[in-house]
């Protein structure tokens, strides 16, 4: 018997039992739908985080005191500006090293007051981080050296304080001290919940005086290329460890952040897909069950077909194709609904969704495999029926 | 005529019923030639159904030799046996056994599906077979849209479509009224006479058996009597 013939017969059998076929498929449809949607959401989340990290700039190494890791106690920083100068010498290119002093402060214009993340930094920040300006200028070396009271506002801060008015040249009051606005950043979004549009940048020297401490929170180093990141990272940490033998320093790179977060999110996606996969498996059991019922119901038909010359493999093929067709059609419907669902979620909610080809291919492959796996037992039973017994069955 | 259609020597068949061996056939010798019209008669439990299943290659003998069209069935595996059924034998059952949701023409074409005949040729041959049984106007009808007599004629067309050597008919008139039963018997007689296909009827109705030119009486698993009607002018 030809395959095309067998396929036509199987389709006919499914069409005859339309309601039952649909209900049986439903298990597979839901399973595949869940796999496609959950993987799309997981991948979407991963992509979004990776984009945030990449949005910082490229080839950045962040040097912070203490050990970085989950559960590590925050360390009181002992670094100061002399250490920045030291790192500049170690790195060799002073323009590729910048500094951060952070503090939460209120920023006021007249009666309007917003809470902002105050960051003291220097003229090298734009060499390392990707922070385009909307208006005005970056900090200059002179701003830092002379402790000027000048500020660059994050897009959100500028919007809240000034609305549509151009803030350049205007005054803001930060922690009771008046600053002149020299620039406004473009909207850049947030990274790890740090709303970078809510930052206000001032010269690091000014910030230290304002806060009243000579400390700094971290040093950022820009590597000249991806291959430079690791050696440079080791050199900087080794140099700091040598300078402070009883202290620990950590340097994190974007690649490491991406790696760690990527791994966690990939695992999460995998777990979600596995849970969805279980429902696919349950759908397969449903297919097996229905096929067994179908074999029993059609015992007489099987007997007749055998009497007319159907071989064991013809009957086996017929029922196996029916089972595979059930799960394959179910799988295709599930994929369509899953892709549609993912696009819908993307459109109506802030949850990012990214449809990946591998999840679709996997879901399809698994639904075909489920059909084969769960169809074999009923089909073999059908193929082995004794025609005499089968014909006699009422 | 060369090979006999069926040749059985010392044919036995026993079943295990709850670990007790039951002998349904206890040594049957039978030769049916091509083109014969034979009725196998016997009360229920006589073994006539078992004999028919063996002749139809639906079952295998416990011992003895059975040749169908010259082929010893004990040498065939299940696949070859299925192919033999497909080539040599056409079945007609008491309860028709048509596929309920399938048109007459597709029902008739079914044996050709398992022979690997192309769809177009199947339809041509199925149409011819249906026309031969006088149902050329019923090609697209489903069994439920036809009378019992018509359904049995579709089944006969199905039995003939593959040009078998033998048509095995198991109580073909059992589910029909007298008029339709007569019509089916007329049809079988005509086909036997026209195309030379051997017809083996299994029945317990003497009137039906009387239409055959040879009567084989089975009782207690043995052939009790084998009579040929005199004046067989074939």
**Domains of chain B, CATH where assigned:** 35-51+87-228 (3.40.50.300)
The H or E element spanning position B6 is strand B6-17
Q: Is the pTM of this model over 0.80?
A: no
What is the number of other CB atoms lying within 10 angstroms of the CB of residue A247? 14
pLDDT at A1: 58
Q: How far apart are CA A224 and CA A227, in angstroms?
A: 8
Better pLDDT: B233 or A222? A222
**Chain B nearest CA to A374, separation (Å):** 25
Would you call A384 helix, strand, or coil by DSSP? Answer: helix
Residue A121's φ and ψ, nearest 5 degrees, are: -145, -165
Give A311's pLDDT tier (boundaries 50, 70, 90): very high
Mean pLDDT over A331-335 rounds to 94
CB contact under 8 A, A308 and B101: no
Would you call A363 helix, strand, or coil by DSSP? Answer: helix
Residue A228's φ and ψ, nearest 5 degrees, are: -80, -20
Structure token digits, residue A65: 């005191």
Contacts A–B by Cβ distance under 8 A: 60
What is the number of other CB atoms lying within 10 angstroms of the CB of residue A211? 16
Chain A residues at the B interface, defined by Cβ less than 8 Å, are: 1-2, 5, 16, 300-301, 304-314, 386-388, 391
pLDDT of A2 strictly over 80: no
Q: Looking at A231-279, which runs of residues are DSSP E strands?
A: 249-253
pLDDT at B125: 96
pLDDT at B148: 92
Write the Ramachandran bin of B177: left for phi over 0, alpha for psi from -120 to 50, otherwise beta.
beta
**For A304, nearest residue in chain B (alpha carbons):** B97
Structure token digits, residue B76: 């065939």
Mean pLDDT over A14-24 rounds to 89
Tell which of B48, B114, B119 to mutate to test the A interface (max A CBs under 10 Å).
B114
Give A69's pLDDT tier (boundaries 50, 70, 90): low
Q: Looking at A225-333, which runs of residues are DSSP E strands?
A: 249-253
Tell which of B17, B44, B59, B82 to mutate to test the A interface (max A CBs under 10 Å).
B82
Q: How far apart are CA B177 and CA B149, in angstroms?
A: 8
Residue tagged 């179910």 (tokens): A330
A349: exposed, middle or buried (C-beta count within 10 Å: 0-12, 13-18, 19+)?
A: exposed
Structure token digits, residue A60: 């950045």
Q: What angle do CA A73, A76, A81 make, to 5 degrees?
A: 140
pLDDT along chain B (234 residues), means of 10: 85 89 92 94 89 93 93 92 94 93 93 92 95 93 94 95 94 92 93 92 89 93 88 50
Better pLDDT: A192 or A107? A107
Nearest residue to A33 (alpha-carbon basis) of A225, A273, A211: A273
CB contact under 8 A, B114 and A312: no
Residues of B in contact with A392 (CB under 8 A): none
Mean of the per-residue pLDDT values of chain A? 87
Nearest to A311 among B82, B97, B119 (CB): B82
């Amino acid at each position: 018997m030809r395959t095309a013939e067998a396929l036509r017969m199987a389709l006919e059998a499914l069409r005859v039992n339309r309601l039952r076929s649909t209900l049986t498929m439903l298990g597979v449809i839901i399973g595949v739908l869940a796999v496609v949607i959950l993987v799309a959401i997981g991948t979407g989340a991963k992509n979004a985080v990776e984009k945030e990290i990449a949005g910082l700039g490229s080839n950045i190494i962040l040097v912070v005191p203490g050990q970085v890791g989950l559960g590590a106690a925050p360390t009181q920083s002992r670094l100061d500006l002399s250490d920045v100068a030291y790192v500049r010498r170690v790195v060799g290119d002073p323009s590729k090293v910048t500094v951060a002093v952070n503090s939460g402060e209120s920023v006021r214009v007249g009666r309007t007051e917003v809470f902002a993340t105050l960051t003291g930094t220097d003229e090298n920040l734009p060499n390392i981080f990707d922070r385009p300006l909307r208006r005005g200028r970056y900090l200059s070396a002179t701003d830092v050296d002379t402790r000027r009271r000048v500020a660059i506002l994050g897009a959100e801060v500028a919007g809240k304080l000034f609305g549509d008015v151009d803030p350049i040249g205007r005054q803001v009051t930060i922690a009771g001290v008046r600053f002149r606005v020299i620039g406004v950043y473009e909207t850049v979004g947030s990274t790890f919940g740090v709303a970078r549009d809510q930052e206000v940048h001032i010269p690091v020297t000014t910030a230290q005086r304002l806060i009243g401490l000579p400390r700094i929170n971290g040093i950022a180093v820009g590597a000249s290329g991806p291959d430079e990141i690791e050696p440079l990272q080791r050199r900087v940490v080794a140099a700091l460890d040598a300078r402070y033998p009883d202290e620990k320093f950590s340097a994190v790179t974007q690649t490491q952040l991406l790696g760690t977060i990527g791994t966690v999110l990939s695992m999460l996606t995998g777990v979600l897909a596995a849970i969805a996969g279980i429902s696919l498996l349950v759908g397969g059991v449903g297919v097996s069950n229905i096929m067994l019922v179908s074999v029993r119901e059609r015992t007489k038909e099987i007997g007749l077909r055998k009497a007319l010359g159907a071989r064991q493999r013809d009957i086996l093929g017929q029922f196996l194709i029916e089972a595979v067709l059930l799960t394959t059609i179910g799988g295709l419907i599930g994929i369509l609904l899953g892709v549609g669902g993912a696009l819908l979620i993307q459109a109506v909610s802030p949850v990012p969704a990214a449809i990946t080809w591998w999840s679709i291919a996997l879901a399809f492959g698994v639904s075909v495999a489920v059909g084969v796996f769960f169809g074999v037992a009923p089909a073999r039973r059908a193929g082995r029926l004794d025609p005499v017994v089968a014909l006699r069955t009422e | 005529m060369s090979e006999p259609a069926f040749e059985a020597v010392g044919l036995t068949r026993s079943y295990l019923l709850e670990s007790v061996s039951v002998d349904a056939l206890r040594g049957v010798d039978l030769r049916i030639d091509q083109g014969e019209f034979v009725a196998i008669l016997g009360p229920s439990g006589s073994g006539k159904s078992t004999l028919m299943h063996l002749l139809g290659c639906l079952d295998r003998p416990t011992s003895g030799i059975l040749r169908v069209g010259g082929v010893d069935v004990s040498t065939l595996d299940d696949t070859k046996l299925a192919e033999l059924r497909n080539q040599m034998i056409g079945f007609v059952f008491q309860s028709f056994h048509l596929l309920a949701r399938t048109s007459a023409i597709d029902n008739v074409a079914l044996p050709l599906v398992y022979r690997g005949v192309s769809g177009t040729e199947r339809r041509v041959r199925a149409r011819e077979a249906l026309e031969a049984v006088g149902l050329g106007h019923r090609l697209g009808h489903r069994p439920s849209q036809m009378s019992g007599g018509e359904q049995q004629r579709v089944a006969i067309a199905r039995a003939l479509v593959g040009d078998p050597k033998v048509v095995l008919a198991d109580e073909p008139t059992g589910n029909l009224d007298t008029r339709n039963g007569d019509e089916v018997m007329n049809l079988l007689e005509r086909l036997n006479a026209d195309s030379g296909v051997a017809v083996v009827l299994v029945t317990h109705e003497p009137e039906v058996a009387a239409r055959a030119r040879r009567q084989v009486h089975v009782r207690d698993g043995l052939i009790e009597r084998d009579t040929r009607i005199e004046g067989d002018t074939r």
